[in-house]
Chain A
């Protein structure tokens, strides 16, 4: 089942997420990227009802882009997090979105930051956070091993510890994970941790097209 987690290091934020698209007892695919790039220096890692997740994160992404077009300046991570929270809070009393979000970003003035936003519109600025069944393991591991000012290598080592623990202790552990990083140079993919690969689809030539 779903596992999304992230932590703030020295000048960067790392977010990791499972990549399974699941319906009931069925796994549809194992390479679904649940970490969306909001703008050049922001990520939203989301878990929850998959339709809601895509709809809501895209809505936020497009609004952040619109803001930048209209005003010529990007939103800060704090402003984007508060905006996201506001949208969730408004939706909560009408047609709530079942999404939990970790919003990671890097700003010139304030440096790296990570925000925890759950589906009932709670907002917290955190150093480390997690959602989903995986959070039971990630949170305790991060409580034990996290310290402020971690280097990228230390942070990745901790992320790998979390993934390993999830895969060895969780009954419904997802096979694959994606790890992304955001620092002053921007938001980018860092690595995948794959234990199964989707079988490659047949090439057009093989089908005789």
Chain B
């Protein structure tokens, strides 16, 4: 029955669903997960690196976190080749805005422009939607620190804490339980790592399987995007007691 409707992205099924969009979301459910937490003094992004073959050469320090502009970064879950296209357009948009106004682009505007692109692919002719979910972490002078989550349909919303990718529902409910307003950045890092350690499939949590990035204000008042080095991440894992095998029984 559904065969008549799911081969095209642009057509509703009789139940009022867009199958291709739902399949795209399904695809993201298998991807490595990412968690974002908004805190008083910054935004924290943690990601799970899925592929860790011994032979794979990791050329860059991050494969899930991308800096879009000085004040804005994102974490990705889904098809990386699709994500690269969207990240490229996001970077172009951000620079174009700076060119026009000589000011950094407000975070929500960038998220919106990217989601407009995503939405376009659920409506216009014969193309498949982008199989990507994003977590955007950023700061702007109007609304301070912000965290946004977007999905393949082009929907987005601002969140205090969010999860995308594999096991995102479990992660989301844990975040809902443990998140407190007035959380500090350090506590947010701890919470994000704890939640990820419990929702990840692998038994031992190591710095090779993780990525941690933060957006915060430096003492001089400038926005800073900082990726945690593997060494520092290992130390954090020990500090929070997440490396002992006993700690990650789910």
CB of B106 within 8 A of chain A?
A: yes
CB-based contact A76/B106 at 8 Å: no
CB-based contact B101/A79 at 8 Å: yes
Instruction: Chain B residues near A83: list those with CB within 8 A.
Output: 100-101
Q: How far is the CB of A202 from chain B (nearest CB, A)?
A: 49
**Within the assembled complex, what's the spacing in Å between the Cα atoms of A82 and B100?**
6
Instruction: Chain A residues near B108: list those with CB within 8 A.
Output: 71
Q: Name the residue on B nearest A123 (C-beta).
A: B102
Instruction: Chain A residues near B102: list those with CB within 8 A.
Output: 78-79, 82
CB of B54 within 8 A of chain A?
A: no
CB-based contact A78/B103 at 8 Å: yes
Instruction: Chain B residues near A79: list those with CB within 8 A.
Output: 101-103
CB of B142 within 8 A of chain A?
A: yes
Bitwise interface map of B from 78 to 111 toward A, beta carbon under 8 Å scored 1, else 0: 0000000000000000000001111100101100
**Within the assembled complex, what's the spacing in Å between the Cα atoms of A71 and B143?**
12
Q: How far is the CB of B146 from chain A (nearest CB, A)?
A: 13
CB-based contact A109/B141 at 8 Å: yes
**Within the assembled complex, what's the spacing in Å between the Cα atoms of A76 and B101?**
9
**Within the assembled complex, what's the spacing in Å between the Cα atoms of A73 and B106?**
10
B99, B101, B106, B141 — most chain A CB neighbours (10 Å): B101
Q: How far is the CB of A159 from chain B (nearest CB, A)?
A: 30
Q: Name the residue on B nearest A81 (C-beta).
A: B102
**Within the assembled complex, what's the spacing in Å between the Cα atoms of A109 and B103?**
14
Instruction: Chain B residues near A76: list those with CB within 8 A.
Output: 103
CB of A120 within 8 A of chain B?
A: no
**Within the assembled complex, what's the spacing in Å between the Cα atoms of A109 and B140?**
13
CB-based contact B106/A82 at 8 Å: no
Q: How far is the CB of B143 from chain A (nearest CB, A)?
A: 8
CB-based contact A71/B106 at 8 Å: yes
The interface of chain B, by Cβ under 8 A from chain A, is: 99-103, 106, 108-109, 141-142
The interface of chain A, by Cβ under 8 A from chain B, is: 71, 73, 75-76, 78-79, 82-83, 86, 109
A-B contact pairs, 22 of them (CB 8 A): A71-B106, A71-B108, A71-B109, A73-B106, A73-B142, A75-B101, A76-B103, A78-B101, A78-B102, A78-B103, A79-B101, A79-B102, A79-B103, A82-B100, A82-B101, A82-B102, A82-B103, A83-B100, A83-B101, A86-B99, A86-B100, A109-B141
Among all A-B residue pairs, the 5 with the closest Cβ atoms: A79-B101, A82-B102, A79-B103, A73-B142, A82-B101
